[in-house]
Chains A and B, each alone.
Chain A
């Protein structure tokens, strides 16, 4: 492929830095210098609106609920109902976040936060919606700031401390889970610390606990005040000291930059480039937005070898489709069904290592479902697929049986207007340029145009072409 056109570059930028663009947004942005578009994307994401499904004082933890049951204040059926309501709130949080992603207003912030959700993978234990809400807002609020602030804040989130068992990490009964994952998954990566470092760091993190109300607390009575030797330094370290030492270590910048590069640029690492970026990231004091701006404005970012290499995650696919067409689901929980069927439910990562991503998203059934999704969404085709339950009785409501039709509203008017100057003959190529990473080849164009017939009005032609183009395997890529 030769050098990309400005439209292609812009489409690619929006796809990677956010969840794609509407044809109108693309037309508008393609007239501006890329550097300016990148700036705009970043400044559009400066403001932050918190997700809210639960007020702190109306939240009851599962443990507190159990206590109420023991004291006879709540019977078994009421308990079941309360746990169900909590799980529903986590579901609502998921849908609220997805709305934010799809709206496009702070697309870059939300995309970055989605990345951090996979990096700082965390799952709700005991269906606690308040903890999940705080966790979600912490990664969203700090998504573009300094990595050190994000790391510290997310490490002190009750959801994370609970997920990684730090409540069980006490002076006389250490639990190393938290210390291990902070090093292995959040900062240094495997092989860059010793088992001794983990053991000693775990001691430093003793006392990092939380209250049922969702407040971080440092409990001195369970903290191990003794001297610890971590990374060859000895002192009476506390958790904050360990985080500081991890940030001081340039390997953290390398590890995180490498992961960002694989997510935002290309799954195949360019070692030299990552090293340069990591150097910058480290020197800037881990300025995330700065790192991203360097990447998005670099010539190499737009090299043909990076285009179309990223397989959209289910959430990226869903948010992107919604954004491009201004879609809203009349039964929003349908989107949980889509997430579950395709293997990515927000707030339910498979394990502490997050979603595997890339080719792992694709197998015979997920690919077929992805290719049929436009028909389900745009043509209300019948959905006969059923998603799997995960064994947990508390998340059963996240499953939904197939055999129903999606009800969706689209903003076709804006979409159609963007193509008002396009001739009928150019329509397929023009829509493809807005939706796909590559131009259509002759065979594809012919195939796509079989969806048309002479009797269709222009809007009908646009709808038919759009549904067909979104069904192409290429639409799974960006």
Chain B
């Protein structure tokens, strides 16, 4: 009897259990390792909720229109951290500039989609589901990735993890959902308390809905145990900044370094809806972002994993070019996306800077569909079927 059979057998004979569903302890009964067709790469997605002002993040510091339209909130050219002759980073993003200089950052400008929606919830919906702007999907693109990756196999929600207490639409699939884990110990304790553990071992299949709930529960109990068991052994030597994003990226690093078999991590942080008094608030948030990402990459580098992990950052929309009367900006459209790490070639700004003379209703005009980035990540980076997941072919950006 090999280990696999042994575990399967022992799971079936554990005392006190009622009827053990076959998917319980799925992680033990399956040979762990890469997902089929996968490249062994890991994607980390950071969502900046609220619509980060991309023009004050990647700043066109030689552009007169930028300074004319933003008389009080524009970042002075001498403060900008230049990436090339045209654009540079917000001064609070020193750590990101350092990563760029090391060749770890790719900036993609003018990312958006046709007929953009300027409401937070709808635009976030579009980015999370990868839908057209007039289409309503009930599953997220990461969830559909999980569906595709786990098709016909044991259920493994921990293959995609959101570091949070609740799960975003992005991680909900047709057949499978990713799992939300903010703190592996807390989640583990939740599944150990009261009736949950015992119920997680019960199995009912006479009714479809009942069976679905018990299956989800069993997966939850099993996955929570797996993640907790795996992650508790590993502590990171890198110091992370003590704020939400810092803590969450630290958790991701801990999962990666301890060998949790997850290929996509998702984190969202809030506060970017800067209608009023933008400068101070955005500076603080971008500073935290750069600092946390800097620590994360340092940590991965020390562990020799920086080429296996790619971090993507997006926001549901950018802000208007023209500042408003409250030292803030209102909802806009196209925005920049950062790709960091992942063993990509040299530092670069992938495409043209925003053209401030060719605006659409006062907003930036998009030239890269965000789903091209998804397609590139899914196909070229994670090695899966992008067309099945996105519903149609989007042209790869040929960057990874």
* Known interface pairs A371-B196, A388-B164, A447-B199; A362-B213 also in contact (CB < 8 Å): yes
Contacts of B157 in A (CB 8 A): 364
* Interface pair B166/A471, CB less than 8 Å apart: no
Is B216's CB within 8 Å of the partner chain A?
yes
Query: Which of B252-260, B266-274, B381-389 contacts its partner?
Result: B266-274
* Known interface pairs A309-B208, A309-B209; A365-B167 also in contact (CB < 8 Å): yes
The number of residue pairs between A and B whose CB atoms lie closer than 8 Å in the complex comes to: 147
Is B303's CB within 8 Å of the partner chain A?
no
Query: Which size bracket describes the interface of B in this complex?
Result: 35 or more
Shortest distance from the beta carbon of B68 to any chain A beta carbon, whole Å: 21
Contacts of A360 in B (CB 8 A): 138, 172
Is A285's CB within 8 Å of the partner chain B?
no
* Known interface pairs A359-B212, A444-B202; A372-B276 also in contact (CB < 8 Å): no
Shortest distance from the beta carbon of B205 to any chain A beta carbon, whole Å: 12
Which of B270-320 touch A at CB < 8 Å?
A: 270-276, 316
Is A283's CB within 8 Å of the partner chain B?
no
* Interface pair B166/A387, CB less than 8 Å apart: yes
Contacts of A384 in B (CB 8 A): 186
Contacts of A359 in B (CB 8 A): 212
* Interface pair A356/B207, CB less than 8 Å apart: no
* Known interface pairs A392-B121, A471-B194; A367-B199 also in contact (CB < 8 Å): no
Shortest distance from the beta carbon of B367 to any chain A beta carbon, whole Å: 24
Query: Which of A210-218, A242-250, A344-352 contacts its partner?
Result: A344-352
* Interface pair A76/B165, CB less than 8 Å apart: no
Max chain B C-beta neighbours (<10 A), residue from A76, A351, A353: A351
Which of B150-174 touch A at CB < 8 Å?
A: 157, 164-169, 171-172
Is A8's CB within 8 Å of the partner chain B?
no
Contacts of B245 in A (CB 8 A): none
Max chain B C-beta neighbours (<10 A), residue from A308, A356, A366, A371: A371
- Choose one: B179, B219, B276; the contact of A76 (CB below 8 Å): B276
Is B236's CB within 8 Å of the partner chain A?
no
* Interface pair B270/A389, CB less than 8 Å apart: yes
- Choose one: A70, A348, A371, A443; the contact of B121 (CB below 8 Å): A348
Nearest residue, chain B, Cβ from A309: B209
* Interface pair B166/A385, CB less than 8 Å apart: yes
Query: Bound state CA distance, A392 and B118, in angstroms?
Result: 11
Contacts of B122 in A (CB 8 A): 351
- Choose one: A308, A385, A473; the contact of B199 (CB below 8 Å): A473
Contacts of B204 in A (CB 8 A): 441
Is B336's CB within 8 Å of the partner chain A?
no
* Interface pair B210/A351, CB less than 8 Å apart: no
Contacts of B136 in A (CB 8 A): 351-353
* Interface pair A375/B194, CB less than 8 Å apart: yes
- Choose one: A343, A353, A367, A451; the contact of B213 (CB below 8 Å): A367
* Known interface pairs A180-B134, A365-B165, A443-B18; A311-B209 also in contact (CB < 8 Å): yes
Contacts of A385 in B (CB 8 A): 165-166
Is A67's CB within 8 Å of the partner chain B?
no
Max chain B C-beta neighbours (<10 A), residue from A309, A343, A390, A402: A390
**Top 7 closest pairs, chain A to chain B, by CB:** A391-B49, A473-B213, A364-B220, A393-B273, A363-B177, A353-B136, A389-B270
Task: Please report B residues at the A interface, Cβ cutoff 8 Å.
Answer: 18, 49-51, 119-122, 124-125, 134, 136, 138, 157, 164-169, 171-172, 177-180, 182, 186-187, 190-191, 194-196, 198-199, 202, 204, 207-210, 212-214, 216-217, 219-220, 223-224, 268, 270-276, 316, 325-326
Task: Please report A residues at the B interface, Cβ cutoff 8 Å.
Answer: 69-70, 76, 80, 123, 125, 180, 308-311, 341, 343, 348, 350-353, 356, 359-360, 362-369, 371-372, 375, 384-393, 402, 438, 441, 443-444, 447, 451, 468, 471-474, 476-477
